Chains A and B, each alone.
Chain A
Amino acid sequence: MRLAPPSSNSRWRDVGVTAGAFGLGLLFLALFLLVAGFDVPLALGALWRGAFGSWYALTSATLVRATPLILLGLAFTLGSRGGALNIGMEGQFALGAMAAAWMGTHTGALPGVVALPMVLGAGMAAGALWMAVPVLLRLRFGVTEVISTLLLNFVAEAAVSYAVTGPLQEPSGIYPQSASLTMAARLPKLLPMSRLHLGLLIAFAVAVVMAVVLKRSRWGFELRAVGAGPRVAEVSGRIRAGRLLAVALLISGALAGLGGAVEVSGVSYALYLNLSPGFGFTAIAVALLGRLRPGGVVVAGLLFGALEAGAGGMQRDAAIPAVAVQVVQAVVILTMVVAANSGQRTANGND
């Protein structure tokens, strides 16, 4: 199975496939609602209003939801372009959130310009550190990262559960959550009267940097070569694929950790259990829908942000469980994997 897109000039085909996959997902959602006996027009209307119905819905629901999805989608993209699947973003996100919560409650009287980088940096470091385990297992023992990153998600969940009832629990010791971040450690709001925070711009900036690095830098070129033809990269490119991939995976972990830190510092202001409603898995659909291109991931992240925000609206206004939109996610993942592999079959044609 392959996930990476060809690097040739097939941008319009990509846009078509992406739009088709998302449309197909929505179609299946409508079918699902119909079969389940819900009022489909009412449900989809509520979905639309929840995502775009008001200025508040757009900025405080859709864009806020999109931020972690974009960051985690980019994390998945970086690994995948090198041929490694980071399925552990959920865990790296949780560890990043935990480290950010700890740092954000310990910055004391430091001003924001100092405290914020420390909080976000702690999140990135924790995400990278959590990823270091699968990287070492892969380099030393050849353990595939798909398994190791996935399993570490459960360990991370347990670690958060321990932290919010133990060392990081709020001072009164009643609620299973951490103390609140100091004001200086919180990401500033972008717009008054909304929940939209600086994290969205951070996500955009990461996307721009990643696009430039993948396209223009030697490192990015070598990473793409390792992803597209690992043996070619080693034999003809003299690239040390293992080391390159290790670095890419550590950065991937750091970005997922950054996602967790941004969520704590921009939205929740404290560490909770289940802070992520499955961002780490939805982000895989986001990355695939964006065809593993940073720009595409941003667009796909916004679409899925809207979908999740709309799901909240659907639950409020039409009493349909929000998890119903996971139908879209599943259809998108399957469609994109099929598209990537059937594209390859036609490209190789006959021999």
Chain B
Amino acid sequence: MLTLSHISKSFGATLALDDVSFDAAAGEVHALLGENGAGKSTLVAIAAGRMPADRGESRVVSRERTPYSPDTSDDSRPTTRLSLVAQHFTSIPAFTVAENIALAAGWQESGKALGVRARETIARIGLPLDAEAVVETLSVQLRQRLEIVKAMASDPQILLLDEPTAVLAPREVTELLAMVRAFAARGGAVVFISHKLPEVFAVADRVTVLRQGRVTLTGRVAEQTPRSLALAMIGEAPAQPERVAVTPGGTRVHADGLLLRPERGGTPVGPITMECMAGEIVGIAAIEGNGQRELLRAMAGLPEITRVDGTLRVSGAVGFVPEDRTTEGIIPEFSLTENFVLGRVRERWMDWGLLAADCDLALAEYDVRGGNAASAASALSGGNQQKLIFARVLSRQPDVLVAEDPTRGLDLHAAAAIHARLRSAAANGAAVIVHSSDLDEILDLADRVLVMANGKLVTVPAGASRDVVGDAMLGLPTP
């Protein structure tokens, strides 16, 4: 149904896609795997017609009969419909769910008729949503669901999903994968972008792996192993560092009955009672918007978080890694040196020569690639920007390290480097508190796992299984 042949595309001096061929047939789910920057998003953007290719051909082959849509009265639409769910949300926050669907699908209805059609469509697609809800009041998970509903509303025959599971909890991922399978079973073609191997095995028939703009593997999923895919993605399997058992030291963070004012209003976050010792990594598993942001930011001492009640004691210097690199961590147009020294300079006058030399040393130590002390931070990839942030935070040897979703959007290599940094910070005696939306990461990284749901800490038994923790994240009762 969808055929891309010999596609090449470059941005400036960077070759994003180099002679890539890819196809998706009716009734199949074709996974597109690759690290960040491998060219996956560029490829689907070309397939969706949102971006021209430099060379090569992109063809959507029409079929005689549309697979399941009874609605053929609207002949302004192309005979074969293709929908893209992009990585970034494309809904208008001040509009309702129904209005956003109408906008995406090109409906003409308004008022009552629109509500009826939106409810019917949502029911048919099978991902429950309140049609009348205003989008800005929705959680991130529901907004992601809306993106998918919008894409499905125009009855596509080809569905392009660009990392649709990034913000979802395990249970929701399962729901989504089931929907994708059902769509393919009705004769649709799906291109499913991910960098999570388990999802690929769960949902895809075929898989194509991109690495630095080239196809390194394509074949049936059944014939692959996690190791063969990882090898194709990153060249060599990342070394799994040995877990060193650490003996926790003194208490560095102590919260007792802590109540915090939530950033978006509503009932206060908490009460939270917890501790973190020097030398241990405490992982906070939570889906976005469950109060972990307020808790972490309160521990990081950010002035925007207000304490309502209870006590919070944090002893020593705190290093903070914010979740959004581009708006809170890095100033893109500043040089690496300027970004590196942000918040570290105590002297009244800046000796830029000396600071640049410091920065160069840190770039080498923290393996930041893609620029020198004088280059603009915008030249770095996301992973290298994150390493730069870690260089800034850790070179001050904080006693407490608070990290929000530190590997979000990073590829396996970069994520492994960040994990190693978090572990060595703990080994050097820092109390490390890390939140991640990726449950596997938390389970892998943390000495102790705490779950937050609806603003409260949920106790999970020690050594609880992945499913138990996942249910706790969703606020379901634990056995």
Residues of A within 8 A of B (CB): 6-9, 216-219, 221, 224-225, 228-229, 231-239, 347-351
Q: List 18 extra interface pairs beyond A225-B331, A233-B331, CB under 8 A.
A: A7-B333, A7-B338, A216-B350, A217-B350, A218-B347, A229-B327, A229-B330, A229-B334, A233-B342, A235-B322, A235-B328, A236-B330, A236-B342, A236-B389, A239-B343, A347-B333, A347-B378, A350-B11
Q: Is B376 an interface residue (CB 8 A)?
A: yes
Question: What 10 pairs across the A-B complex have the smallest Cβ distances?
Answer: A229-B331, A6-B333, A237-B343, A235-B328, A237-B342, A8-B376, A238-B343, A228-B331, A231-B328, A232-B331
- Check B320 against A235 for contact (C-beta < 8 Å): yes
The residue of chain B having its C-beta at the shortest distance from the C-beta of A229 within the complex is B331
Q: Which residues from A are CB-within-8-Å of B41? A: 351
B42 shortest CB reach to chain A, Å: 8
Main secondary structure of the interface of B (DSSP, over half): loop
- Check A347 against B332 for contact (C-beta < 8 Å): yes
Residues of B within 8 A of A (CB): 11-12, 41-42, 51, 88, 302-304, 320, 322, 327-335, 338, 341-343, 345, 347-350, 352, 374-376, 378, 389, 392
- With A217-B350, A232-B330, A236-B329 already in contact, the answer to whether A8 and B335 are too (CB < 8 A) is yes
Q: Which residues from A are CB-within-8-Å of B341? A: 221
Tell me the bound Cα distance from A218 to B349 in angstroms: 5
A154 shortest CB reach to chain B, Å: 34
- Check B343 against A6 for contact (C-beta < 8 Å): no
- With A232-B342, A348-B332 already in contact, the answer to whether A218 and B348 are too (CB < 8 A) is yes
Tell me the bound Cα distance from A228 to B335 in angstroms: 12
A238 shortest CB reach to chain B, Å: 5
B101 shortest CB reach to chain A, Å: 25
Pick from B11, B335, B348: contact of A217, CB under 8 Å? B348
Q: Which residues from B are CB-within-8-Å of A347? A: 332-333, 376, 378
Q: Which residues from B are CB-within-8-Å of A6? A: 333, 376
Could you write out 13 A-B pairs with CB less than 8 Å apart?
Answer: A6-B333, A8-B375, A216-B349, A217-B350, A218-B349, A221-B341, A224-B334, A225-B342, A228-B331, A229-B327, A231-B328, A235-B302, A347-B376
Q: Which residues from B are CB-within-8-Å of A219? A: 348
Q: Which residues from B are CB-within-8-Å of A229? A: 327, 330-332, 334
- Check B345 against A218 for contact (C-beta < 8 Å): yes
The residue of chain B having its C-beta at the shortest distance from the C-beta of A349 within the complex is B11
Tell me the bound Cα distance from A222 to B334 in angstroms: 12
Q: Which residues from A are CB-within-8-Å of B342? A: 225, 232-233, 236-237
A309 shortest CB reach to chain B, Å: 36
- Check B331 against A221 for contact (C-beta < 8 Å): no
The residue of chain A having its C-beta at the shortest distance from the C-beta of B41 within the complex is A351
Q: Which residues from A are CB-within-8-Å of B304? A: 234
B318 shortest CB reach to chain A, Å: 10
- Check B11 against A236 for contact (C-beta < 8 Å): no
Q: Which residues from A are CB-within-8-Å of B375? A: 8
Tell me the bound Cα distance from A350 to B389 in angstroms: 22
- With A9-B374, A235-B302, A235-B320 already in contact, the answer to whether A221 and B329 are too (CB < 8 A) is no
Tell me the bound Cα distance from A347 to B345 in angstroms: 28
Tell me the bound Cα distance from A54 to B39 in angstroms: 63
A90 shortest CB reach to chain B, Å: 30
Q: Which residues from B are CB-within-8-Å of A349? A: 11-12
Q: Which residues from A are CB-within-8-Å of B328? A: 231-232, 235-236
The residue of chain A having its C-beta at the shortest distance from the C-beta of B343 within the complex is A237
- Check B334 against A228 for contact (C-beta < 8 Å): yes
Q: Which residues from A are CB-within-8-Å of B302? A: 234-235
- Check B343 against A236 for contact (C-beta < 8 Å): yes
A234 shortest CB reach to chain B, Å: 8
- Check B334 against A236 for contact (C-beta < 8 Å): no
Q: Which residues from A are CB-within-8-Å of B349? A: 216-218
Q: Which residues from A are CB-within-8-Å of B352? A: 216
- Check A232 against B333 for contact (C-beta < 8 Å): no
Q: Which residues from A are CB-within-8-Å of B389? A: 236
Tell me the bound Cα distance from A232 to B326 in angstroms: 8
Tell me the bound Cα distance from A224 to B374 in angstroms: 16
Which of A218, A228, A235: most chain B Cβ within 10 A? A235
- Check B327 against A232 for contact (C-beta < 8 Å): yes
Pick from A221, A228, A237: contact of B350, CB under 8 Å? A221
Which of A218, A229, A234: most chain B Cβ within 10 A? A229
Q: Which residues from B are CB-within-8-Å of A233? A: 331, 342
